[in-house]
Amino acid sequence: MEYIVISFTHKNTDIATREKLAFNNEVEKESFLKNIIKNSSVNEAILLSTCNRIELIINTPNSKEASKVGIENFAKHSTLQIEELYNRADIYENESAIHHIFTVASSLDSLVVGETQIAGQLKDAFKFSIEKDFSGQNLSRVLHYAFKCAAKVRNATQLGSGSVSVASTAVAQAKQLYKDTTGVRALVIGAGEMSELACRHLLKYGFDVVICSRNIKKARILAHSIISDGNGDEYTHDQIEIRPYEELETLLNSMRLMITATSAPYPIIKKEMVKEFKHTRNWFDIALPRDIEDIEFEDLNIYSVDDLQCIVDENMELRASQAKEAYSIVGKMTVDFFSWLQTLSVEPVIKDLHLKGEEIIDKKIQNALKKHFIKSEDEENVKKLCQTIMAEFLHQPTTKLRDVSKSIDGDIVLGTTQNLFGLNTEI
């Protein structure tokens, strides 16, 4: 059984390409995975789609064929050419695939190293796949081990310290642009997780926040939760204002700072909505697909996810030593995962060996009783003696099997053992 990952990220694709590859809702994800699973070369599949990455994780009996199926379905979904996708994609197989999944879960492959959202996004993708029967035991083992690896990295390093995310990075960039945040109002469009993170960081840096969302009830709940818990800070209703979505155009043309993070499948901010304004405006679009269409307007700066690289580079420098330790953990956990998988394979073989021994003992004792070689009152004692002999006889072979199962020849040895003893267990 093999594993592959087909990966499109900020490292190998620009934001325009990722927009075409992105999945806007669960209906699109379900349809895509259904088509993938139909193919005999795909046993299980998980689809991860975020602002920085679109990745397909597959358990397969044939990695080459599964890669072909994955790329072809990405081409149908995105309308991009198959050849272009092959040229852009990073395709990981087996050990490399597992190492990559563990790296992603541990936030080492993120645009912002140590960002706090990716593990949750991966868990959501895994949960969706399980609920829709696109994933089973094999990928469950991988993902559970990946989350175990992520927890180990988090506990052993400081990479997850503080609240690090694309949203926090955007706000950090805004803070550099507005040295004095007193009286600066920031418009946040949307009321989801990314918007909440943006609001919290804006308030922390001293900005006042105006939340605008199609779902005004959700926006009010978001504002209330920030005011009520505060996370150690005191915020008031004067610092967080809710405005109806119908006022979006007015708000865009009356505020100096804006962060948008909606799940809209198309741009919600268009060129004709932009009017003259007396100050320079800075807009941060951290959605995928982007919320803002391509606009060139005097004194208007638009930043997408990929434009945050300057802070990302600083983040990498500050976290370089921590990342080195984290990669060491990921490497060890990758090796441990395959060792653990091999032990899962060997235990059924060992169990069958002992069952085979029990069958022989029972058969021979019954024959001995029929031929009066032993008395019926001695049956239990004779059986215990035979079981002791069999257990001692199998002790060294089973110990050796457990040891050899961890080596590169493990599958061959286990297969030979099955054939040799006539066992039926599938590895």
β strands within 84-239, DSSP E: 90-93, 185-189, 208-213
- Strand, helix or coil at 16? helix
Give tens-digit pLDDT for 57-109. Answer: 999 999 999 999 999 999 999 999 999 999 999 999 999 999 999 999 998 88
Mean pLDDT score across all residues of the chain: 89
Average pLDDT over every residue of 402-415: 71
Whether the pLDDT of residue 427 is over 50: the answer is no
**Confidence category of residue 406, pLDDT binned at 50, 70, 90:** low
Comparing C-alpha atoms, which of 217, 243, 223, 244 is closest to residue 235?
223
Whether the pLDDT of residue 30 is over 70: the answer is yes
pTM above 0.95, yes or no: no
β-partners of residue 55 are 7, 48
Of the listed ranges 8-17, 156-165, 182-191, 391-400, the one predicted with least confidence: 156-165
Average pLDDT over every residue of 406-425: 74
What's the pLDDT at 312?
62
Whether the pLDDT of residue 205 is over 70: the answer is yes
What's the pLDDT at 238?
75
What's the pLDDT at 309?
67
Catalytic residue among 51, 149, 199, 212: 51
Dmax (CA) of the chain: 109
Which helix (H) or strand (E) segment holds residue 410: the answer is helix 410-421
310 is catalytic: no
**Confidence category of residue 322, pLDDT binned at 50, 70, 90:** confident
Q: In the chain, count of helices (H) and strands (E)?
A: 14, 10
Whether the pLDDT of residue 382 is over 80: the answer is yes
Distance CA(90)–CA(123), nearest Å, equals: 22
Q: ∠ CA(139), CA(142), CA(148), 5° rounding? A: 140
Give tens-digit pLDDT for 166-187. Answer: 898 899 899 999 989 988 999 9
What's the pLDDT at 314?
61
Which helix (H) or strand (E) segment holds residue 2: the answer is strand 2-9
Kindly give, in sequence order, each residue whose CB lies less than 8 Å from that of residue 245, ignoring residues fewer than 6 positions away: 212, 213, 214, 216
